[in-house]
Structures are given as structure tokens and as C-alpha cells.
């Protein structure tokens, strides 16, 4: 198995994460349990930040896309690592602010930001709002005017490059609920409108071309399209964008079908982007813009491991063997959503050779409640601790209380120490906001 350096099998034959024995973690904190490796997260932040500093003279900012994993502690870590964050809702913004994250280093996204979210962003002093629609532009201008403010904005643009895993395509038509299309001229139209807004200062453009991308060429292509558009806007309106945000989407290792990239390998993606930006700036006679990237998954994804306890085992001869665990789609809906693939192992028997293919099922009342399908495991027994790797992104942040299951707690591990960063929910938490109207009493 392709392990990273803070994940290993210890002398007891147990999985170890950030110096903590996974079996010990399961005993101390119970299961299901999300475990996040602090060193991995910090190494990733530092790798991206280092490239901006060394290769681009510090004229840029790494924004952690906090939709991947949002809680108070992650914003503290991002702040300590000297990076910015992107948020996509009032709730993520509230969490960041509550953690003491500097508002000027927050970028706010969303295809349908609510009026109250925009008001909250303005009142917090959010540095930049990434505007996604004509309605939002007018609404934000009015709200900023009412506060006597001028708000920095970017536009989210669809450059006509769509990338996922090893494939990318160029599209002339854009079918997306996000952003303004280059192809149909709406990106140009909104630019013209924005330049007339008194309380908004257009700083540049944003794009996000997809997720789980391994192909550097797709980012290069996006840079080319975005900078050609910036040159066009300069020629047409005399407006020279001084910021370019190229989104996130860098792929991570889930199974051995994926590349295993080290933090310095991720840095190479950013180096490719930077050299393309420099090249295109020269070609189009533009100033090199302040550069932003928004990695989410690649910062926290491989930092996470979820631990479960094996319960029922159901062998359907000639069909399938199900190994059921005490979690499921309520802590990780990604298989149910899009058949996401994962690697699993038995944390208490991590040195044993896998010998059979099983599907790890959850405990929810849905036949689609699978944590991961067709994974190789040693013969699992009830009581084994099952670990699913690379669950740091879009697991806790997508968790729900479906079937009134409690969302598992999160512990942060480092150098053999483990502490809660999200405490366990109680049954009482589940009914906290429930109300029985008088007529039902």
C-alpha cells in the first residue's frame, strides 16, 4: 500500500497516524472517528505558500478552500500558516471569524449568496467577494453603498476548460450554475457593468475548472484562456485586472489508481501555473497579476483517516460479502453521491495481507449506504477496527444526521498526541432545536 510518511504500520502491526496508534485512538475516543493529521495539513500549506514566495516574489496568496473541511481549528491552522481562506456560506464565514481569521484574507464565493450573507460579509470586512451573477452585482453594490464602503470583487468566469482526473475538455458552451461564460460574452458584459459601479472595485477574475485533477496541462490551458480574456478587457475597456484566482482541484490519492503526490509534487503544479502566467503576461503585454489558488482537497484530503468498528458481516455466496461498520453515508456520503473510491484496511491487523474483496456498508436505512465498494481486506471479524484512508476532505464537511445518527467527532493528531477539534454529538444535541407545538402536547 502506498503510504505517506506520517501514516505507517507500527511494531504491533497497527496503523499509526501522526504518531498515534489507530487502535488506541479508537479505544480512547470511540468509533466512528475522524482523525486529522496536523503535520500533513501544515506541510501542504507550507509547500504551496513556499512556491508563491520563491517563484513569484510573494505576489500571491494561497487560499484554503474551507468547504473541504471546516471547523474552528482548521482556520487557526490556516492563519498560523500565513495563508488565506475561501468560504462559501455565512456559516463558513462565521466559523472563520469566530476562529479569529483575518477578514481581509477571506474570499467569499457562492452562486446564490443570500442578502444576509452579503451583509454579514460586508460588516465583517471580508477582503474580496467573488461575484457570480448579475443580481448579486447589483445587490452588493447597493449594500456597499448603504454602508459607505467600496468592496473589492472578482468575477467567477467559466473559461471553457473542464477537467476531472485524467481528462480535460475545452467547451464552447457552458452549462454550469456557476459564473460568467467567456464563450457567450457574459463575462465581458458583466465587466462593463461592474466598471460603472460606484461602490465596487473590480480587481480581476476567478475560475475553477474541476476537481481531482492530475493533468497539469489543464491548468496551463485555463491560464491561457483567462489571460487572453484579461488582455481583451484591457483593450476594450482599458481595465487591467490585477488579480487572477485559478481555483483549486488538485487531485489526491484515494486508491492506487490515483497518483501519489508529495507536498513538493503539488508545488510543481503551482510552478507550472506561475511559468504560464509569466509567459502569457509577456505575450499579452499585461502586468503579472497577484496570483491566487484555492486548494481544498489537496490540503486536507490525505490528512484524514476515518476509523470504524466492524459489526455485522454478511456473506452472500456468489454475490458479495458486506462488512458493516458503525458509520456510513452520514459521515461519508461520497460513495452514495458519486461512487467515490477509497482504500480501506484493518487498523488492528494492518500488517496482514488482504485476501478478499468486500464492500464496506454503513448502518443507514438505504441500500446505497456504502462507505466503499470492492476493497481488499484480510478476513474481517466483528470488532476489528476498519480504517478508510484519505477522508479528510468532503467527509466531515458533508456529514449529516441522517437516520438521527450522531456526526462523529474529529481528533487532530500530531507527534503522538490526539485532541478533539470537534467534540462528539450527544443524543440531546439531536433534539436541541426540535420543538413540539402546543397543539401536539
Per-residue x/- mask for ligand PLP, residues 193 to 212, rule CB under 6 A?
---------------x--x-
Number of helices (H), then strands (E), in the chain:
12, 24
CA triplet 148, 65, 190: central angle to 5 degrees?
Answer: 50
Q: Looking at 18, 84, 289, 296, which residue binds ligand PLP (CB under 6 A)?
A: 296
Q: Which residues of 242-252 are buried (b: 16+ CB within 10 A; e: fewer)?
A: ebbbbbbbbbb
Cell of 277: 502566467
Of residues 69 through 108, those in contact with ligand PLP by CB under 6 A are: 86
- Cell 467567477, residue? 156
Q: Looking at 60, 247, 289, 327, which residue binds ligand PLP (CB under 6 A)?
A: 247
Is 365 assigned a catalytic role?
yes
Q: Looking at 18, 84, 249, 408, which residue binds ligand PLP (CB under 6 A)?
A: 249
Helices (DSSP H) in 56-114: which residue ranges? 72-80, 90-98
Q: Is 294 in the site for ligand PLP (CB under 6 A)?
A: yes
Terminal-to-terminal C-alpha distance of the chain: 57
Of residues 52 through 71, those in contact with ligand PLP by CB under 6 A are: 65, 68
Euclidean distance between CA atoms 206 and 179, whole angstroms: 9
- When the beta carbons of 215 and 366 are compared against ligand PLP, the nearer one is 215
- When the beta carbons of 249 and 327 are compared against ligand PLP, the nearer one is 249
- When the beta carbons of 56 and 250 are compared against ligand PLP, the nearer one is 250
Q: Looking at 109, 197, 225, 363, which residue binds ligand PLP (CB under 6 A)?
A: 109
Name the DSSP letter for residue 40: H
Q: Is 344 in the site for ligand PLP (CB under 6 A)?
A: no
- When the beta carbons of 233 and 299 are compared against ligand PLP, the nearer one is 299
Residue 21 C-beta: closest distance to ligand PLP, Å: 29
Strands 180-181 and 200-206: what pairing? unpaired
Q: Is 298 in the site for ligand PLP (CB under 6 A)?
A: yes
Distances (CA, A) of 232 to 190, 229, 276: 14, 5, 18
Transcribe 376-394 into DSSP letters.
EES---TTPEEEEES-SSS
- Catalytic amino acids? 365
Binding site for ligand PLP (CB under 6 A): 65, 68, 86, 109, 208, 211, 247-250, 294-298, 393
Amino acid at each position: 500500500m502506498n503510504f505517506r510518511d506520517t501514516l505507517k504500520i507500527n511494531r504491533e502491526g497497527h496503523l499509526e497516524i501522526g504518531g498515534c496508534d489507530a487502535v488506541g485512538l479508537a479505544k480512547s475516543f470511540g468509533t466512528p472517528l475522524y482523525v486529522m493529521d496536523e503535520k500533513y495539513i501544515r506541510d501542504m500549506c507550507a509547500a504551496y505558500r513556499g512556491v508563491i514566495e520563491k517563484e513569484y516574489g510573494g505576489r500571491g496568496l494561497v487560499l484554503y478552500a474551507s468547504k473541504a473541511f471546516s471547523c474552528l481549528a482548521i482556520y487557526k491552522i490556516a492563519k498560523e500558516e500565513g495563508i488565506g481562506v475561501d468560504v462559501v456560506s455565512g456559516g463558513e464565514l462565521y466559523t472563520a471569524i469566530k476562529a479569529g481569521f483575518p477578514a481581509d484574507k477571506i474570499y467569499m464565493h457562492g452562486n446564490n449568496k443570500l442578502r444576509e450573507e452579503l451583509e454579514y460579509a460586508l460588516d465583517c470586512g471580508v477582503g474580496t467577494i467573488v461575484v457570480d451573477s448579475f443580481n448579486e452585482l447589483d445587490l452588493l453594490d447597493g449594500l456597499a453603498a448603504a454602508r459607505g464602503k467600496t468592496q473589492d470583487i472578482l468575477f467567477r468566469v467559466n473559461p471553457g476548460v473542464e477537467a476531472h482526473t485524467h481528462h480535460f475538455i475545452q467547451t464552447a458552451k457552458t452549462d454550469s450554475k456557476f459564473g460568467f461564460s467567456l464563450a457567450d460574452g457574459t463575462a465581458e458584459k458583466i465587466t462593463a457593468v461592474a466598471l460603472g459601479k460606484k461602490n465596487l472595485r473590480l480587481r480581476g477574475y476567478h475560475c475553477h475548472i474541476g476537481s481531482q485533477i492530475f493533468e497539469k496541462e489543464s491548468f496551463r490551458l485555463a491560464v491561457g484562456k483567462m489571460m487572453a480574456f484579461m488582455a481583451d478587457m484591457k483593450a476594450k475597456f482599458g481595465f487591467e485586472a490585477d488579480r487572477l484566482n485559478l481555483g483549486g482541484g488538485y487531485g489526491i490519492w484515494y486508491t492506487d489508481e490515483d497518483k501519489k503526490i508529495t507536498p513538493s509534487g503539488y508545488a510543481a503544479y503551482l510552478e507550472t501555473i506561475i511559468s504560464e502566467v509569466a509567459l502569457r503576461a509577456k505575450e499579452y503585454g499585461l502586468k503579472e497579476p497577484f496570483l491566487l489558488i484555492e486548494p481544498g482537497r489537496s490540503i486536507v484530503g490525505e490528512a484524514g483517516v476515518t476509523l470504524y468498528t466492524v459489526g455485522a458481516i454478511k456473506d452472500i455466496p456468489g454475490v458479495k460479502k458486506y462488512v458493516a461498520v458503525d458509520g456510513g453515508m452520514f459521515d461519508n456520503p461520497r460513495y452514495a453521491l458519486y461512487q467515490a473510491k477509497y482504500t480501506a484496511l484493518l487498523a488492528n491487523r494492518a500488517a496482514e495481507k488482504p485476501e478478499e474483496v468486500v464492500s464496506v456498508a454503513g448502518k443507514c436505512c438505504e441500500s446505497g449506504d456504502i462507505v466503499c465498494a470492492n476493497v481488499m481486506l484480510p478476513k474481517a471479524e466483528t470488532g476489528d477496527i476498519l480504517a478508510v484512508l484519505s477522508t479528510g476532505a468532503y467527509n466531515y464537511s458533508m456529514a449529516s444526521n441522517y437516520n438521527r445518527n450522531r456526526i462523529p467527532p474529529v481528533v487532530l493528531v500530531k507527534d503522538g498526541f490526539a485532541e478533539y477539534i470537534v467534540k462528539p454529538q450527544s443524543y440531546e444535541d439531536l433534539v436541541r432545536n426540535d420543538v413540539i407545538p402546543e397543539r401536539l402536547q
